[in-house]
Amino acid sequence: MARPLLSFLRDDRGQDPEELVPTPQSMPIASANAARVGADSILAVRNAFEAQLRCGGLAAALAMLNERTRFRFTGLYRVAPPQLLNIALYDRENPTLSIAGAVCALTDTYCSIVYERGRAFRVSDAPAEVRLYAHPARDSVQSYAGVPVRLPGGNVLGTLCHFDGRPRIMPASELSVLREVAPFLVSWLRADD
């Protein structure tokens, strides 16, 4: 059964954009380090992530991804409608924080958009984005970039995401990094099965 499309996210042409781009006057804050991914090959990043995951564990691998951005948080979540389960979260400002196992309503998160659409979603400045006007996370999570973590058959099992309480810009190439490493995280999401 197909999941309903989040029609409020469609642009004026009826398109369903991957990124919600705020108007230039609404983007005065933090710009991501755009040149960073350009210098790195995504394959090299994927290999480094896989090695970090194998040797240092999930927390170290999420920290590595987080260091590539200006986002405060990088997390891995399992989708279990109507809930979203935190598997692991890296907090740049409090690296020892552990909230694994925390549960929230899926519909209160941007991860719900990734799950419903089955593809990546990012927003740089949610309060400036009219299409997110009624979204529950709009004021508390102002920037988000997430990708689905899929089972081998294609079903979305969870999300890998960066987010922050402040506006942040992330280059599209960094979203490609998340897509590339997401398959390595399936086993972490299936551990509860």
162 beta partners: 74, 145
Question: Given the DSSP bridges, would you call strands 121-123 and 19-20 parallel, antiparallel or unpaired?
Answer: parallel
Q: Are 128 and 27 in contact (CB under 8 A)?
A: yes
pLDDT at 15: 53
Quote the number of domains for the chain: 1
**At 126, which CATH number?**
3.30.450.40
Q: Does the structure show a pLDDT above 50 at 110?
A: yes
Say if 1 falls within a structural domain. no
* 95 assigned to some structural domain: yes
> What is the C-alpha to C-alpha distance for residues 188 and 131, in angstroms, rounded to an integer?
33
Residue 26 lies in a domain: no
Q: Which pLDDT does position 175 carry in this prediction?
A: 93
Average pLDDT over residues 42-64: 94
In a domain, residue 27? The reply is: no
Task: Identify whether 144 is part of a domain.
Answer: yes
Helix (H) or strand (E) holding 15: none
What's the predicted TM-score (pTM) here? 0.80
pLDDT value for 100: 79
In a domain? residue 141: yes
Domain around 78: 7-21+32-190
Q: How confident is the model at residue 24 (pLDDT cuts 50, 70, 90)?
A: very low
pLDDT of residue 3 exceeding 90: no
Two tokens, residue 8: 């409020």
State residue 34's pLDDT score. Answer: 41
Backbone torsions φ then ψ of 73, nearest 5 degrees: -115, 145
**E strands in 6-165:** 19-20, 73-80, 83-91, 103-105, 121-123, 143-150, 156-164
Tell me if 170 sits within 8 A of 71, measured CB to CB: yes
Long-range CB contact pairs, 10-19, < 8 A, 24+: 10/131, 11/131, 16/117, 18/119, 18/120, 18/121, 18/122, 18/175, 19/121, 19/122, 19/123, 19/124, 19/172
Instruction: Convert the pLDDT of each residue in 141-161 to its tens digit.
Output: 999 999 999 999 999 999 999
Give whole-number Cα distances, 98 to 7, 75, 87, 90, 105, in Å: 35, 11, 10, 8, 19
Domain assignment present for residue 98? The answer is yes
Give me the pLDDT at residue 85, please.
95
Region 1-30 average pLDDT: 45
Domain-located, residue 2: no
